[in-house]
Amino acid sequence: MRELTQPAVAARPGPPSVDAQRRAARWDLLVELAVTGAGVAGIVLLLLMIVFVVREALPLVLDPVQREQASLAKLLLPQPWRDGHAPALLWNPTSKVPKVSVWPLVIGTLKVTGVALAVAAPAGVAAALFTSEFAPSRLRTWVKPTIELLAGIPSVVLGSFALMTLASALQSAFGFDFRLNALVAGLAMSLAIVPVIYTLSDDALRAVPHTYREAALALGATRWETAFRVVLPAAAPGVLGALVLGVGRAVGETMIVLMASGNAALVSANLAEPTRTVSATIAAEMGEVVMGSTHASLLFLLGAILFVFNLVLNVTAGAWVRARLARREGAPS
C-alpha cells in the first residue's frame, strides 16, 4: 500500500531481465525435482526396509546350514527337547540344541494384543462417543487435549509402572501364581494404545455430518440411540482405522512387554501365565547375535513377520473401508 505514495517508476524495478527469468525457471525445475525426490523417498525407504529385513532373513532359505538349523519343521512343528518329555513348541535359539519355534512368540504377541485391545477398544470408543456426542463442550475442550497429552507418555514409563506397581496390585487382587504375565503386559499396553484409539475415533465421529443426528433425533430416537445406531455406524471406517492403528501399535510395542510380560516363551492360552512376544524377543536377543548367524537371520525373520502382519492388517482394513464406502455410495438413498 505504501508503494502507491512513492514515486512509482523509480522504486519499482523494471520487468525481470531475461537472465533473472532464466534463473527463476532453473530454480523452479530444481525445486520440483527436489520435492519430487523427497516424495519418492518414502517409497524408497519402505523398499529399502523390506529389502534389508528380508535380505538378512534370506539365508534361512538359501544357506544349507541355516536351512537345516531352522527348517520349516523346526519353525512350525513340535520338536523333541528333553528325554522323557513330549515334543514341544519351544523358542531357545542359543541352547545346545537350538529350539526355534515361532509359535510361542506369535501366540504371546496375540495374547498381549488381545488383552490390550479388549480393554482399550471399548474404553477408547466409548470415551470418544462421550466427548463427541454427549459431553458439554466445556468439558470436551479439556478432556480431549488431556488424553492427547497423555498419549505422549513414553512406553518405558508405562513399562516400569507395570513392572513395579501394576503387577503387584493385580497379583494381590487376583492371587495369580505369576506376578508378571500376559494380563499385566496387556493392561499396560492398553494404556499405550487407548489414547490413539480415542483420538482417531473422536475425529471420525465428529466428522459425521450434523444432518444425520438431526434426522435421527427428529424421528424420535434418543440421544444414545442416535449416537450408537446412527453416528457410530456412519463413522465406522474411521473408527476401524483407529482400531487398526491401535492393533499395529500393540503388536510392535517393545519396551512394555520386555519389562512386564515375564518373557517365558510358552504355548498357552492362560492369560495369567508369563508370555514372550515377537518384538521383545528381537529387542532382547539382537544385541548378542553375530551378524550372519542363524540366530541373527531368525531375528530378522521375526522382524519380517511383524512387518508383513502390519502390511496385511493395513491392506485388509483399507479394502474393508473401501468396500463399505462403495456400498454406501451405491446404495439407493
Report the amino acid identity of residue 262.
Answer: G
**40/326 with CB nearer other proteins:** 40
Complex with other proteins: residue 106 or 283, whichever CB lies closer: 283
Decide: 196 and 246 in contact? Cβ < 8 Å: yes
For residues 66, 68, 73 and 77, what is the CA-based torsion angle, rounded to 10 degrees?
-80
Kindly state the smallest distance separating residue 165's Cβ from other proteins, in Å. 5
Nearer to other proteins among residue 197 and residue 234 (C-beta)? 197
- What percentage of the chain's residues is helix, strand, coil (to nearest 5)? 75, 0, 25
Question: Closest approach of Cβ 226 to other proteins, in Å?
Answer: 9
Sign of dihedral through CA atoms 3, 7, 9, 13?
Answer: negative
For the bound state, the minimum distance from the C-beta of residue 138 to other proteins, rounded and expressed in Å, comes to 14
Say if residues 281 and 302 touch (Cβ distance below 8 Å).
yes
Task: From 133, 248, 238, 108, select the one nearest 186 (Cα to Cα).
Answer: 108
Using CB atoms within 10 Å of the CB of residue 182, give its burial: 0 to 12 exposed, 13 to 18 middle, 19+ buried: buried
Nearest approach, Cβ of residue 236 and other proteins (Å)? 17
| Least distance (Å) between residue 331 CB and other proteins | 25
- Residue 248's alpha-carbon distances to 48, 111, 125, 199, 228, in angstroms, are 21, 14, 17, 16, 26
Q: Which residue lies nearer to other proteins by CB, 84 or 332?
A: 84
Strand-pair partners of 99? 92
- CB nearer to other proteins: pick between 62 and 331: 62
Cβ of residue 199: shortest distance to other proteins, in angstroms? 11
SS3 152: coil
Q: Which is nearer to other proteins, 64 or 154 (CB)?
A: 154
Which of 258, 331 has the CB closer to other proteins?
Answer: 258
CA distance 14 to 275: 75
* Least distance in angstroms from the C-beta of 295 to other proteins: 9
